[in-house]
Amino acid sequence: MSSLLLASAFGLGLSAPLVQAEEDALATRLDPILERAIAQQRIVGTVVMVARQGRVVYHRAAGFADRDAQRPMQEDQLFRFASLTKPLVAVTALRLADQGRLDLQAPVSRYLPYFTPHLADGTPAVPTLAQLLSHTAGLHYGFGEDQDGPYHRAGVSDGLDGAPLTLEENLRRLAGVPLDFKPGTQWRYSLGLDVLGGVLEAATGLPLPQVVQQQVAAPLDLHDLSFHVSEPSRLATAYRDGYPRPEPMSEPYLLPLPKGGILYSPARALSATAFPSGGGGMQGSAGEYLAFLEALRQGRLLTPTSQRLFMEDQIPRLQRDDAPGWGFSLGAAVLRDARLAKTPQTPGTLQWGGVYGNAWFIDPARELSVVILTNTAIAGMSGPFPDAIRDALYRD
């Protein structure tokens, strides 16, 4: 997709002749990183897009959408977002709060009367909507526990598998498991955005996909963001990391972790009956995600109050053991200490990733937004490939 099409389709500014040198310099830095990762078979295919000061200054598709079919990657390819879904659902909630239709400080039970969890000692402890957004609700993900853990025993889905559940059924199962800690006292990555998806349905009376469409996609005139892909030919084939090369994911596919494992169902993206996971169920293209990030960075989606809730650290008194130097807003990780985090990014940078092999970040101080989508889990989310792109963008 050309810069002209990106600008006209997504509302991003065209690069003026005066910044052509910057575009050429970025291509010189970034193109070899993409080509090397593909040649070394770290990833199968990728689309990388960069916007600076409201202009698309880099966009490139490389590798294969499907290696066996020799189908080359296209810039408008659709990818399984996994946790790149979370910021979209978070912004949907913040917009509803701006409209007075949602109270972020209210307990979840105001909207979902059945969601009344308790602590291990039986003490009632219902988190607020803000705590769902900040991952301080006392929940976690099943992929981080052993196979005999409480979420597995209760049959709770992480939203990436092919479990034949409705959203309400899954949340009722989750509500019956004791919380890990008193809400607001710790940070732990969790199914909070899936619970929030149920809240959004209850608050609006609409299915979650329709709420996200109305609140985010429609205002930005975006057409590829969805919970269900209706054009299979546009969806990149999902690959797993592997030596000597990545291989297509099986259906289902279990990625073992030091404790637990992630259960994927690549076919879920094509299922019209899969429940809409607010934490990991969406698909879309790099260009549209970049348009969303830029609208967010520029303050075109939220009121100033909600903008601060998304862009600034909302857990200043809590430490994240999983990511030194990083805090969390009501939507994304926020960089507190670049030295501690071992990153060249500016403090205040926001970022997150998705376990199908995707990553993004916004550096507000540099007016920089970056989207890295791949079809290779999890090499496109963390590790040498996204780190090399990040570091090249900060090389003066």
Q: Supply the residues annotated as catalytic.
A: 83
What is the 8-class DSSP label of residue 235? B
What stretches of the chain show up as alpha helix (H) in DSSP?
Answer: 3-10, 20-39, 85-98, 129-134, 150-154, 167-175, 192-204, 208-212, 286-297, 304-311, 338-341, 384-393
Q: How many CB atoms lie within 10 A of CB 383?
A: 15
> What is the SS3 assignment for 218?
coil
Q: How many CB atoms lie within 10 A of CB 396?
A: 2
Rounded to the nearest 10 degrees, the angle between the axes of helix 20-39 and helix 384-393 is 160
Backbone angles phi, psi at 327, to 5 degrees: -110, -155
Alpha-carbon span 89 to 83, nearest angstrom: 10
Contact 130, 184 (CB under 8 A): no
- C-alpha R_g of the chain: 20
Number of Cα atoms under 13 Å in the Cβ half of residue 367: 8
Alpha-carbon span 360 to 156, nearest angstrom: 28
The alpha carbon dihedral of 339, 343, 344, 347 has a sign of negative
- Residue 265 buriedness (CB in 10 A; 0-12 / 13-18 / 19+): buried
